[in-house]
Amino acid sequence: MSPGTAARRAAELATALARGGPLPQRARSALAALGVALDVRAEAGGRATLSVPGSVGTLVVANHQSWLDVVGLTAVEGVGFLAKREIARWPWVSSVARRHGTVFVDRWALRTLPDAVAALRERLRSGHSVVVFPEATTHCAAPGGRFRHAAFQAALDAGAPVRPVSLSYHQRGRPSRIAAFVGDDTLAHSLGRVLRARELTLRLTSHPALAPDGDRARLARQAREAVLGREPTRA
Is there a domain that residue 234 lies in? Answer: no
In a domain, 235, yes or no: no
**Is 134 within 8 Å of 222 (Cβ atoms)?**
no
Beta bridge partner(s), residue 201: 37, 170
Residue 74 lies in a domain: yes
The range of the structural domain enclosing residue 81 comes to 3-227
Asked if residue 232 is part of any domain, the answer here is no
The percent of residues in the chain predicted with pLDDT above 70, rounded, is 81
Q: What is the CATH classification number for the domain harbouring 144?
A: 3.40.1130
Tell me, yes or no, whether 73 lies in a domain.
yes
pLDDT digits (tens, 9 = 90+) for 33-79: 999 999 999 876 567 789 999 999 999 999 988 889 989 999 999 89
Query: Is there a domain that residue 215 lies in?
Result: yes
Instruction: Determine, yes or no, domain membership for 186.
Output: yes
Structure pTM?
A: 0.87
Buried b (16+ CB within 10 A) or exposed e, 199-223: ebbbbbbbbebbebeeebebbbbbb
Whether 233 maps to a domain, the answer reads: no
Task: Give the count of domains, the chain.
Answer: 1
